[in-house]
Chain A
Amino acid sequence: MTGPILAIETSCDETAAAVVAGREILSSVVASQAELHAPYGGVVPEVAARHHLGTVNGVVDEALDRAGLPLDGVAAVAVTQRPGLIGALLIGVATAKAIAYAARKPLIMVDHLHGHIAASWLAPVSLDPPFVSLVASGGHTRLDLVTDLRDPRLLGQTIDDAAGEAIDKGARLLGLGYPGGPALERLASTGSHAAHEFPVGLRGATRDFSYAGVKTALLYAVRERDAPPTGQERADLAASYQEAVLRPLADRLISAAVDEGVPAVALGGGVAANGRLRELVGEGADRHGLRLAVPDRSLCTDNAAMIGAAAQFTEAVPWPDYLGLDAVATAPPGGIAA
């Protein structure tokens, strides 16, 4: 697919649209719903779907405007098809199908995880395969070997909670509210990560992750106190807990890259915005002479530019063969529909 692509993403709690041409991002607009969901302590699917519907058309208009392109000027429309909240995905898919149909454009159905993996291919990071990718967010935690961006290969993933989910749950246990990532990171930066020894999930040569144990350990550590932890004690718990979540991510990413003999590693997903994770991965990359590719924070959290990137490595469906295609809540066997 050559020429600019209009991409739409509504799989969770961000309504996003972007125009991408090759590696260049001509525009990227994200309307976040995070504040809407805060009173519920997590993303509410029905609230997300209601909000996407009122928002997506304006976001698309703004993306085209900022790119300085009329709809006729795009070569194709791309949209996140899976995985995600089904009611939320449906809004993006119905909108993208209708726009592509009316404008007689091809449609590209993109896997959200493929998007996170392809984000580091975009300029200015412009990473080319081969590399090992870590995607860590509130919904996903996975390692992929990328020798061809059309076909990322799953190396390992979480067997229970996602890393971002573990961080949010830890933040809640420490009384930090939702979303907890940035607040936990701030508190952790004032504490000692060596103060408490939390279990590091799976041990040994595995490439999978587990966060059930560390979460339970924090729960007990908080409960065995007579009063909720405060001050330095709370900061030490935050730092030690965060370390137990992040260290396996960094260690397994680096050792997978070394084992697979690739020259680079890439980070993606909301947890990639965490400064301590970047530090840990950076140290490992330096030690082994690996290139570390970290897209801008705005390309790590959910956005549509990454969907436009992955779209360029996904088969387009010609007009009007896509009219019967639908959103899918789940990931396919093997993890990514690339």
Chain B
Amino acid sequence: MLEAVHGLLASVGATPPDLDGIVVGVGPGGFTGLRIGLATALGLGQALGIPVTGASSLEALALGVAEVAPPGALVVPVLDARRRELFAAAYRSAAGDALEELAAPQAIAPGDLADLLDGLGEPAWIGGDGVPAAGGALDGPGRTLLAPGARASRVSAAALVARVRAGAGVPARPVYARLPDAEVNRRAREGARP
């Protein structure tokens, strides 16, 4: 992570003290990767005395999908959440990198997401590494699935910054969208108790 930061700064002839602020993706996403990104951003911000602002990784992905969809279309960013689930949300795109949230970010089974999209009842543009992970469950009439390798299917750091510029910055705290297993098990035990 930090090697990439160092390489990027060097490539534009900058050093860390030249920075005025840092934007970091807060997820949802893989827990460990999310935390390394946030810890790195927060450590840099702390040492440099500059603000660190979060942006939703799903919203950033939605901006990429919106670029290849018609204006005002329903865009659905999907990330592979493992365990046969996706991290997903649904937005209507608008001018100026604006997004109207139609379904909040959540961990969801691919089949349930397909039902959710049916309920919204309009053509949807779907992109992200959750497309191949869904294994065909999202296929259907009125649904455009972006090719997995496409640029629009990746969370781009520039799109994170665009979200903050559009006024959609959030605190630099991880959005896990899922409880720790131990907590799920503990609640199940408590619930099972007579």
Q: Which of B1-38 contact A (CB under 8 A)?
A: 1-3, 5-6, 16-17, 31-32, 35-36, 38
Chain A residues within an 8 Å CB radius of B182:
40, 44, 46-47
User: Cβ of B186 and Cβ of A40 under 8 Å apart?
Assistant: yes
**In contact, B35 and A49 (Cβ under 8 angstroms):** yes
Given the known A-B contacts A46-B31, A47-B180, A101-B16, are A94 and B36 also in contact in the complex, defined by CB atoms under 8 Å?
yes
A53 touching B180 in the complex, CB below 8 Å, given contacts A39-B186, A95-B42, A95-B43 = no
Using a CB-CB cutoff of 8 Å, which residues 49-108 of chain A contact chain B?
49-50, 53-54, 56-57, 60-61, 71, 87, 90-91, 94-99, 101-103
Q: Cα distance A49–B39 when bound, in Å? A: 11
Complexed CA–CA distance, A40 and B1 (Å) = 33
CB of A10 to closest CB in B, whole Å: 10
Residue in A44, A94, A324 whose CB lies within 8 Å of B39: A94
Contacts of A71 in B (CB 8 A): 47
Residues of A within 8 A of B1 (CB): 94
Asked if B43 contacts A96 (CB within 8 A), the reply is yes
Give the chain B neighbours of A98 by CB distance below 8 A: 2, 39-44, 46-47
A228 within 8 A of B: no
Contact B176 A95 (CB under 8 A): no
CA A102 to CA B3, docked complex, whole Å: 12
**Chain A 94-126 interface residues, beta-carbon cutoff 8 Å to B:** 94-99, 101-103
Contacts of B5 in A (CB 8 A): 101
- Is the pair B35, A57 in contact by a Cβ cutoff of 8 Å? no
Given A47-B180, A320-B6, A97-B47 contact (CB < 8 Å): no
The answer to whether A97 and B43 have CB atoms under 8 Å apart is yes
For B181, list chain A residues within 8 Å (CB).
46
CB-nearest residue of chain A to B173: A54
Cα of A34 to Cα of B88 in the assembled complex, Å? 34
Tell me which residues across on chain A come within 8 A of B3, comparing CB atoms.
Answer: 323-324
Residue of B nearest to A100 (CB): B47
How far does the Cβ of A38 sit from chain B's closest Cβ, in whole Å? Answer: 11
Question: Is residue B77 contacting chain A, with contact meaning CB distance below 8 A?
Answer: no
Evaluate contact between B173 and A97: CB separation under 8 angstroms.
no
A101 partner residues in chain B, CB cutoff 8 A: 2, 5-6, 16, 44, 47
Binary interface encoding of chain A residues 308-323 relative to chain B, with 1 for a CB under 8 A from any of its CBs, else 0: 0000000000001001
Q: Which residue of B lies closest to A87 (CB)?
A: B32
Which residue of A40, A47, A57 contacts B43 across the interface (Cβ within 8 Å)?
A57
Please count how many residues in chain B sit with their CB below 8 Å of the partner chain's CB atoms: 29
Distance A90 CA – B48 CA, assembled complex (angstroms): 21
**For chain A, which range describes its interface: under 10, 10 to 19, 20 to 34, or 35 or more residues?**
20 to 34
The minimal Cβ–Cβ distance linking A273 to chain B, given in whole angstroms, is 26
Contact status B180-A44, CB under 8 Å = yes
Q: How far is the CB of A73 from chain B (nearest CB, A)?
A: 13
- For A323, give its contact among B6, B43, B173, B174 (CB under 8 Å): B6
Residues from chain B with Cβ under 8 Å of A53 in the complex: 35, 38-39, 174
List residues of chain A with CB within 8 A of the CB of B17. 102
Partner of B2, one of A39, A44, A91, A323: A323
CB distance from A224 to the nearest CB of B (A): 28
- Bound: A87/B42 CA distance, A: 17
B32 with A90: CB separation less than 8 A: yes
CB distance from B189 to the nearest CB of A (A): 10
Cβ-defined contact, B43 with A99, below 8 A: yes
Chain A residues in 8 Å Cβ range of B43: 57, 94-99, 102
Q: How far is the CB of B5 from chain A (nearest CB, A)?
A: 8
Residue among B47, B174, B183 with the most chain A CB within 10 A? B47
Please, how many angstroms separate the alpha-carbon atoms of A95 and B36 in the complex?
8
Closest 9 CB pairs of A and B: A98-B43, A102-B47, A94-B39, A46-B180, A44-B182, A95-B43, A99-B47, A323-B3, A102-B16
What residues of chain B have their CB less than 8 Å away from a CB belonging to chain A?
1-3, 5-6, 16-17, 31-32, 35-36, 38-44, 46-48, 173-174, 176, 180-183, 186
30 contacts between A and B (CB under 8 A): A40-B186, A44-B180, A44-B182, A44-B183, A47-B183, A54-B173, A57-B43, A71-B47, A87-B31, A90-B35, A90-B36, A91-B39, A94-B39, A94-B40, A95-B39, A95-B40, A95-B43, A97-B40, A97-B43, A98-B2, A98-B40, A98-B44, A98-B47, A99-B44, A101-B2, A101-B5, A101-B16, A101-B44, A102-B17, A102-B48
Please report A residues at the B interface, Cβ cutoff 8 Å: 39-40, 44, 46-47, 49-50, 53-54, 56-57, 60-61, 71, 87, 90-91, 94-99, 101-103, 320, 323-324
With contacts A49-B35, A91-B39, A97-B40 known, what are 18 further pairs, Cβ within 8 A? A40-B182, A46-B181, A47-B183, A50-B35, A50-B174, A53-B38, A90-B35, A90-B36, A94-B2, A94-B35, A94-B39, A94-B40, A97-B2, A97-B43, A98-B46, A320-B6, A323-B6, A324-B3
